[in-house]
């Protein structure tokens, strides 16, 4: 629905052995629970207002605005990253978060000297030089040997554009400075 930051979810169980269902209930009950706002939002997602309901027009208006803004930010992210040597970002087919393909990380002697993985080294340099804080890609199961790029676009459009341009510029400078081969071709 485009309301990023809200957490909620549900599971539908059909034809499950009662003993297995009991164990599943135990497992689910010890996990973290979404906040009340996420649970309320989930209800609106699975059973949205219908034409004729008092809140239908407002719901559709807000939903359309949120999804349009996310689609615009996804296109902006794609455009800026695709101008960057070594980064390729495929178009999104829906208003979702684009996933840029990062160029493979060079074998960073500087990272090794500091006792850091290349993606952590990249994150620290990015933070030191631009003030942009990202999590090393290895924290999200990113393929080993790739550099992290944030691919979330919740910030207001004006701030997002500045962030993406700074990041793109830093990435090109970083690859040139720390890679023996210069800027690598886009990742497949």
The pLDDT tens digits for 147-187 are 566 656 677 888 889 988 998 899 888 888 887 544 444 44
Give the global pTM: 0.66
Report the pLDDT value the prediction gives residue 98, as an integer from 0 to 100.
Answer: 61
Report the pLDDT value the prediction gives residue 17, as an integer from 0 to 100.
Answer: 92
Q: Are residues 87 and 158 in the same domain?
A: yes
Q: Are residues 5 and 38 in the same domain?
A: yes
> Average model confidence (pLDDT) for the chain?
78
Give the burial class of 156: count Cβ atoms within 10 A of its Cβ; 0-12 exposed, 13-18 middle, 19 or more buried.
exposed
Report the pLDDT value the prediction gives residue 183, as an integer from 0 to 100.
Answer: 45
Q: Give residues with Cβ within 8 angstroms of 178, minimum separation 6.
A: 106, 108, 110
d(CA 91, CA 108): 30
Does 56 fall in a domain?
A: no
Report the pLDDT value the prediction gives residue 160, as an integer from 0 to 100.
Answer: 87
Whether the per-residue pLDDT at 131 is higher than 80: the answer is yes
Q: What is the CATH number of the domain that holds 116?
A: 3.90.1150.10
pLDDT tens digit sequence for 59-105: 999 989 988 888 888 888 888 888 887 777 777 766 565 666 555 55
Which of 134, 162, 161 has the alpha carbon at shortest distance from 150?
A: 134
Q: Where in the sequence is the domain holding 135, given as residue range(s)?
A: 61-178
Report the pLDDT value the prediction gives residue 182, as an integer from 0 to 100.
Answer: 47
C-alpha 108, offset from chain centre: 25
């Amino acid at each position: 629905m485009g309301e990023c930051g809200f957490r909620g979810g549900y599971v539908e169980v059909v034809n499950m052995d009662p003993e297995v269902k009991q164990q599943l209930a135990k497992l689910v009950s010890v996990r973290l629970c979404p906040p009340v706002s996420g649970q309320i939002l989930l209800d609106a997602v699975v059973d949205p207002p219908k034409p004729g309901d008092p809140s239908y027009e407002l719901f559709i208006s807000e939903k359309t605005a949120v999804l349009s803004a996310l689609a615009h930010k996804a296109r902006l992210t794609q455009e800026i990253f695709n101008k960057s040597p070594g980064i390729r970002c495929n178009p999104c087919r829906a208003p979702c978060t684009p996933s840029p393909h990062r160029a493979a990380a060079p074998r960073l002697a500087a990272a090794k000297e500091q006792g850091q993985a290349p993606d952590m080294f990249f994150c620290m340099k990015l933070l030191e030089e631009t003030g942009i804080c990202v999590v090393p890609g290895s924290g999200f199961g990113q393929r080993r040997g790739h550099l992290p790029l944030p691919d979330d676009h919740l910030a207001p459009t004006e701030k997002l554009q500045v962030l993406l341009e700074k990041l793109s510029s830093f990435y090109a400078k970083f690859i040139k400075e720390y890679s023996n081969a210069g800027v690598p071709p886009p990742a497949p």
